[in-house]
Chain A
């Protein structure tokens, strides 16, 4: 269970309060107009930004003092999710450990993760020789290897075409389901929310509202969301 306990994020004029709880294994979309602070909220959860006040609890434990890499989560950014100078296998190795030499067991796990995302035998390639969709799959495979209970997605598939994006979201849903991962996804597209997330947190007027079922929210949007959706 992830608890945002009276979290207050302030940056210059910007201000966002969040006081809500996300259930274990849930999949939550964060929707809101641009500038509402969707990415800022995610960045704070990941540990790159310190909130002014409040606590962040995972299963009752305060994780605010932890460094980003030690928090019980994986994050996929909008871009730069892979090191271009390392091979796909080396990039995936970083999901296991940054040890100089990976063991035979590690290599077996990397091969299995590649199989799982449909990139069998591509371990020796460099990210630059892969398509955008394949790069997304590699990043996802690394999350698989890290096996953290939380997965944060900051519109990582925004640059993909609609069909590819739908494939990627389906893959995320499958993997999250298998591993019981709690997923939080920032998106500006309500269709993404509908496709992947049963719950949605709406950001409006400086407040992150408690999660509501996505279908209900989209069927009967409050004024702020209606304005954003253009209805």
Chain B
């Protein structure tokens, strides 16, 4: 294991050097065109709307999940975790299959003589973001409901409070505590949205800052403007993080998903109808696109050309490399964090940068030295690993605090230090969160369509990039096959790492 100080230096260099390069190259914000301010406006607008709609829809879904018991409920909750790992480009493909021009919904509308819906444009960006983030909001709220102490509920029931009173006394305070954090978490994710806005948005009316960076970079070869846009994105991230630091973001992970409230809390046929509708609608909205991809794509997988398989192999190797780097940096930083504040601060540094900002910065740094396209894969690997780092450290920290509180003295009294401590104490006790973090890092890297778009010369392709090219050339059958393959590989890698962690856990 590398020392924490070295890991911290590496991470600081990986984040601060590109940010510095961007800011120096931008030399202020004067290179911005009026359309760039439009991109800023759209970025804020879509993030606000996406977060608000996700939170609003999550309330009835989480409440129904909390107060109803039905067969498949556990599976439903588990599937709610899927969109978090799903490659965005696959999500877009799935939504197009249902809501696109030739999708199921529009066929129905046409048959009824109604006007067609279009997924392209601002509304499509918001719909895709809601698809990707509704599950996150639902899980956060479900946690909130489950965190209401059952003693409090028992007390309310013993006092004979009617459901409306229970809602006012118990549920509304919980929602007030959880919703701002959930809103902000989704808002932050949507601020740096790239793949969704690239595929469904576009044009000045529906470009996020990330897409504007990409366009300035790729189509106009205007590095000054790309840098200025990146600087704007950094300012935005810093402001948002400043606000977030004043709120405790609720957790969407963790155990305890099965404590039920007394059944008589949700009486009445009306509530039953509301809950059933919420659950069915959520299931249809979240599962139909995935099913559509799976059904349409699975038969295409054997016919995919060699180039797609090659891209798939590249992506797998990239994901494994990025995962290894994430863990190599996250473990020493997380182990040092309980005693050294700087360690956790450094691990959170990547939150100030987005994929495209880091990519632009690294491009500016390496261009005088080598042809950037020769570094497409290493740079993508490094950026993916860096962006996964805050998640990994946040997942590891609570377990590390427990480990140190419980066993530091015993280990010290037995002179259990260095490699022996790592092997006999640290790794076995952290196997589960390490496996989980590795799974998330691998899934992120596998599905990432970000930096690679800046650096690739068209020869070197990851699977998401190959999928994007297929969509661009309207080879939709092959695209469905590639999307299905990408989805299977992403979930497969996640499950593999998570399983290794669970298997290595000696408890």
Interface, chain A (partner B; CB < 8 A) = 46-48, 67-70, 74-75, 77, 80-86, 90, 94-95, 98-100, 142, 146
Contacts and interface: CB of A to CB of B under 8 A. Distances in A.
A77 B406 CA distance: 11
Contacts of B420: 98-100
19 contacts: A67-B415, A68-B412, A68-B415, A69-B412, A69-B413, A77-B409, A80-B407, A80-B409, A80-B410, A83-B407, A85-B505, A85-B506, A86-B424, A86-B506, A95-B414, A98-B415, A98-B420, A100-B423, A146-B414
Nearest to B412: A68
Interface string B480-507: 0000000000000000000000000111
Contacts of B410: 77, 80-83
Contacts of A99: 420
Given A68-B409, A98-B416, 6 more contacts: A47-B412, A48-B412, A77-B409, A94-B414, A98-B415, A98-B421
Interface centre among B406, B412, B414 (most CB of A within 10 A): B414
Contact of B424 (A67, A68, A69, A98): A98
Contacts of B507: 84-85
Nearest to A98: B420
Contacts of B169: none
A94 B417 contact: no
Contacts of A74: 413
Given A80-B407, A86-B424, A98-B424, A69 B415 contact: yes
Contact of A85 (B415, B416, B421, B429): B429
Contacts of B414: 69, 94-95, 98, 142, 146
A75 B413 contact: yes
Nearest to B431: A85
Contacts of A48: 409, 412
A68 B506 contact: no
Contacts, number: 56
Interface string B381-409: 00000000000000000000000001101
Contacts of A68: 409, 412-413, 415
Interface residues of B, number: 20
B422 to A, nearest CB: 10
A68 to B, nearest CB: 4
A70 B407 contact: no
B298 to A, nearest CB: 41
B425 interface: yes
The 9 closest A-B pairs by CB, nearest first: A69-B415, A98-B420, A85-B506, A68-B412, A85-B428, A94-B414, A75-B413, A68-B413, A98-B416
Nearest to A146: B414
Given A83-B424, A90-B424, A70 B506 contact: no
Contact of B417 (A46, A69, A86): A69
Interface centre among B409, B425, B429 (most CB of A within 10 A): B409
A81 B414 CA distance: 10
A103 B429 CA distance: 25
Nearest to A73: B413
A94 B421 CA distance: 10
A47 B408 CA distance: 13
Contacts of A46: 413
Contacts of B413: 46, 68-69, 74-75
A48 B507 CA distance: 28
Contacts of B421: 98
B412 A83 contact: no
Nearest to B415: A69
B416 A94 contact: yes
Nearest to A81: B410
A184 to B, nearest CB: 14
A74 B410 CA distance: 10
A20 B423 CA distance: 41
B412 A94 contact: no
Contacts of A70: 415
Interface centre among A83, A95, A99, A146 (most CB of B within 10 A): A83
Contacts of A81: 410
Interface string B424-440: 11001100000000000
A8 to B, nearest CB: 22
B424 A94 contact: yes
Nearest to A99: B420
Contacts of A98: 414-416, 420-421, 424
Interface centre among A69, A98, A100 (most CB of B within 10 A): A98
Contact of A69 (B406, B416, B423): B416
Contacts of A85: 428-429, 505-507
A83 B409 CA distance: 12
Interface string B67-83: 00000000000000000
B480 to A, nearest CB: 45
Contacts of B407: 80, 83
